[in-house]
Chains A and B, each alone.
Chain A
Amino acid sequence: MTGQHRDLTPEAAARLTLDPGPWLSCDDCFEQMDEFVDRLLTDGPTGMPALHAHLAGCGACGEEARSLLLLVAADEGIDPAPGLRRLAED
């Protein structure tokens, strides 16, 4: 299949060419996600670059991490905004 025309939006083109970063599987992401979220909410250094790259590049894992952060923040009475920013920016 070559030469098929697709009118890609700039957003789709950006998603397609996102730097994938170091390799990490969805299973390994799931294993580490709770530790990462607790670190995001306690302002500690997160490290974990492969996990961060995975969350940026995998829509499902990224959504689940954001959801976990919001749930834990609500439980603890913490403002989730700084943690969400760190999740998006780190």
Chain B
Amino acid sequence: MAALDGPELADADPVRIPDASQGWVDLLSAPGPGHDEALARLHSLLLKAARHQVSRMLAPTIGSARREELIQQAADEAMVAVLGKLSSFEGRSRFTTWAYKFGILHAAVEVRRTVWRRREVPLDSLPEPAAAGSSPEQLAEAADFSHAVNIAIDQALTAHQRTVVLALLVDDVPIDVLADRLGTTRNALYKTLHDARGRLRARLTEAGYLEPSRTEEVIP
């Protein structure tokens, strides 16, 4: 029996076991002694991660029954993902850290989708209020910079880049939700955002508003 066997399994808190990454992988990889117990332990870890994430995101519009359902659902989905990717675990982190990230991801995505399910995603940005508490000089400077950013948005970005950056960064639409609504992926949207920021920075650097950074790439 591998590293999960022994007194640790009798511990009152099932997820507080000493980290033994290879033991986890061995036990979860194939049926045998300890396999079912390791599966149950893994599910406990994922429930803990999902619960942690849901509680962090504090979504008052989600009732307690739906919240619990969401936690269970996220843990179940994360379980499938972890088992499917088990062979890719290379031991560069502790197994528990590796597993937790799946629970957190699935819970976070599900909360964002639930909260935005009935909300309209604005694809033309609404005005934002001016910042409070700044001096007139700071306000003037900020207004000047904001005006320059506005111009750069209009002149340096494609229509798709404008839609994406304004939804994500001005209207605070979560990236998973926007990906669902636009029929694309989180990766593709982040690539759009990455390229758009590069274009905005290039335009504003050219106009003297920003200093070029060392990591700045050449934007085509």
Contact = CB atoms under 8 A, between A and B. Distances in A.
A9 to B, nearest CB: 5
A1 B162 contact: yes
Contact of B197 (A18, A59, A67, A75): A18
Interface stretch (B29-37, B66-74, B164-172): B164-172
A33 B174 contact: no
Contacts, number: 153
Interface string A21-39: 1110111001001110110
B49 interface: yes
A16 B197 contact: yes
A30 B105 CA distance: 9
A25 B188 CA distance: 8
Contact of B145 (A13, A27, A38, A63): A13
B104 A68 contact: yes
Size class of the contact patch on chain B: 35 or more
Contacts of A8: 128, 146, 149-150, 170
Interface SS majority for chain B: helix
B101 A75 contact: no
B108 A37 contact: no
A1 B149 contact: no
Contacts of B181: none
B59 interface: no
Interface string B127-141: 111110010000000
Interface of B: 15-16, 48-49, 52-53, 56, 92-94, 96-98, 100-101, 104-105, 108, 112, 124-125, 127-131, 134, 142, 145-146, 149-150, 153-155, 159, 162, 165-166, 168-170, 174-176, 186-187, 190-191, 193-195, 197-198, 200-201, 204, 210, 213, 215-217
6 contacts: A1-B154, A12-B169, A20-B193, A25-B190, A37-B97, A60-B174
